[in-house]
């Protein structure tokens, strides 16, 4: 059985809940990622922020990324456990139409799964079937 741990990208780094969106944008640039998990002072996962969140919910609304914090944009958090099977991972991503999902072990962030990780897992290890990839793409990209 393939689990989230088998396909996740390790080494995900959190942005602190009280850090600014400007800091988040620089961290995204430096790490070449489009999303960052948000961790609180207790180092527990609190949310996730995307580059799109910064543009649409901060800049486009005339807010200041130098003063607005990551936690101010943290919406409802969807995550999976490291031992969840890939059916569960795909179901959550499809149900919530998300392209990236944090992976936790207990309450600790251990990785992230992105659509690129799904594709690489399919290509490299045949961990996902063609039909699973097609269903994911249809669900996330074809729904209005």
pLDDT band at 11 (very low <50, low <70, confident <90, very high): confident
DSSP string, 70-117: HHHH------EETT-BHHHHHHHHHHHT-SEEEEEETTEEEEEEEHHH
Q: 66 Cβ partners below 8 Å, 6+ apart?
A: 20, 21, 22
Three-class SS of residue 37? strand
Q: 55 Cβ partners below 8 Å, 6+ apart?
A: none
Q: What is the CA radius of gyration of the chain?
A: 15
Strand arrangement, sheet containing 108-114: 80-81, 100-105, 108-114
Q: Which CATH number describes the domain made up of 4-141?
A: 3.10.580.10
Contact 53, 100 (CB under 8 A): no
Per-domain residue ranges of the chain: 4-141
Q: Give 14-44 pLDDT, tens digit per residue.
A: 999 999 999 999 999 999 999 999 999 888 8
**Rounded CA gap, 137 and 139, in Å?**
5
- CB neighbour class for 112 (10 Å; exposed up to 12, middle 13-18, buried from 19): buried
Mean pLDDT of 82-111: 92
Asked whether the predicted pLDDT for residue 126 surpasses 70, the reply is no
pLDDT band at 74 (very low <50, low <70, confident <90, very high): confident
**Rounded CA gap, 141 and 81, in Å?**
24
Asked whether the predicted pLDDT for residue 137 surpasses 90, the reply is no
Q: Could you tell me the pTM of the whole model?
A: 0.84
């Amino acid at each position: 059985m393939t689990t989230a741990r088998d396909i996740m990208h390790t080494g995900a780094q959190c942005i602190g809940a009280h850090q600014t969106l400007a800091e988040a944008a620089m961290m995204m640039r430096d790490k070449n990622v489009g999303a960052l998990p948000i961790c609180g002072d207790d180092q527990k996962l609190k949310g996730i922020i995307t580059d799109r969140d910064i543009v649409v919910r901060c800049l486009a609304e005339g807010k200041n990324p130098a003063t607005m914090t990551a936690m101010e944009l943290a919406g409802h958090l969807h995550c999976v456990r490291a031992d969840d099977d890939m059916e569960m991972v795909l179901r959550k991503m499809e149900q919530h139409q998300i392209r990236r999902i944090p992976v936790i072990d207990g309450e600790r962030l251990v990785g992230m799964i992105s659509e690129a990780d799904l594709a690489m897992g399919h290509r490299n290890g045949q961990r996902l079937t063609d039909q699973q990839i097609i269903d994911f793409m249809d669900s996330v990209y074809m729904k209005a």
